Amino acid sequence: MADDGVVAVYTNNAITDATMKNPNPFSIKVGMAQMLRGGAVFEVTTVEQAKIAEEAGGCAIVVSELPPVQGAAARMADPSLIKEIKRAVSIPVIAKARVGHFVEAQILETTGVDYIDESEVLTPADEDHHINKHNFRVPFVCGCNGLGTMLMRVREGAALIRIEGDLSGSGNIAETVRNVRSVMGDMRVLTNMDDDEVFSFAKKISAPYDLVAQTKQLGRLPVVHFAAGGIVTPADAAFMMQLGCDGVFVGSEIFNSADPYKRTRAIVQAVRHYSDPHVLAEASCVLVDAMAGLNLSEDRVEQYET
């Protein structure tokens, strides 16, 4: 259940679910997302991977289809795969819709998924508009690259935010680190700001003034925020947690490793014990064999070989 501060942000909003055919109050969706805090979400492409992620202690899974051939559009996964995975596991299942494609979201909602991810990893369907997420019963996950885009997505109804970097599966975490630091840095500036300065700050970060002011009043981000992009090792996962994230998304490349259960389990342990270097050292030990080839695209492998 959402805490009072988050409910306050919701109820103070000029645009609320109540004015938007409200099938499920935003405060409830935010509360549902809070249950994922302190967890690792694993991207899966098969039922077997979903079972491994659940067994390893993942807090949720996000279903993807295998990447399409290069140049082809990436769309929502086949609803029958989502239903099959939903039947196979008891942890929450997230399904991806293309940015702006509210019909894909309507279809996904009928499958009984627990969350819909309006995902930048898929080919965007609408270059100008995101989905009005207040029109849905199911909570939404959205990506952001800074505090401004985060609050825009919250305004549209996102209940869980992914602070994301490079989502190409390259294993490069630097962009994610930059964006997480940008959000946390802006939060520190905002919370110490004079009330009179909030107007121009909201303009500067292109965010709705009322949400920026309410976020300042709360003294923390209004929704659960995970990191995504290039998180491959237990150290990466703990890094994101120590920078202030509530959890991590891990790409499906992890299942290409020699022992996917050990790797997923190690990431779960790292997220749970992110400030304990001894646990992190132990979690990192099992992984050396699989580390070399993981998440290196062919051209990057060439770069290392020359």
Ligand X SMILES: O=C(CO)[C@H](O)[C@H](O)COP(=O)(O)O
Query: Which residues make up the interface to ligand X (CB under 6 A)?
Result: 43, 62, 64, 117, 119, 121, 167, 169, 228-231, 249-251, 253
Residue 31: CB minimum distance to ligand X, A = 21
Which candidate in 29, 86, 96, 133 is catalytic? Answer: 96
100 versus 208: smaller Cβ distance to ligand X = 100
Residue 222: CB minimum distance to ligand X, A = 20
State how far the Cα of 172 lies from the Cα of 176, in Å rounded to an integer.
8
144 versus 205: smaller Cβ distance to ligand X = 144
Is 96 labeled as catalytic in the residue annotation?
A: yes
Residue 64: CB minimum distance to ligand X, A = 6
Residue nearest to ligand X (CB): 251
State how far the Cα of 26 lies from the Cα of 10, in Å rounded to an integer.
7
Residue 155: CB minimum distance to ligand X, A = 21
State how far the Cα of 277 lies from the Cα of 270, in Å rounded to an integer.
9
Bridge partner residues of 143 (DSSP)? 162
Q: What is the residue type of 222?
A: P
CB 176 within 8 A of CB 245: no
- Tell me 193's DSSP state: S
3-class SS at 143?
A: strand
198 versus 237: smaller Cβ distance to ligand X = 237
216 versus 247: smaller Cβ distance to ligand X = 247
Q: How far is CA 15 from CA 18, 26, 99, 210, 292, in A?
A: 8, 11, 21, 11, 49
Residue 249: CB minimum distance to ligand X, A = 3
Task: Note the helical H segments in the chain.
Answer: 4-12, 26-34, 47-56, 79-88, 102-110, 147-156, 174-191, 198-204, 209-218, 234-242, 260-272, 277-285, 288-291, 298-305
Buried b or exposed e, range 110-144, using 16+ CB within 10 angstroms: ebebbbbbbbbbbebbeeeebbebbbbebbbbbbb
Residues noted as catalytic = 96
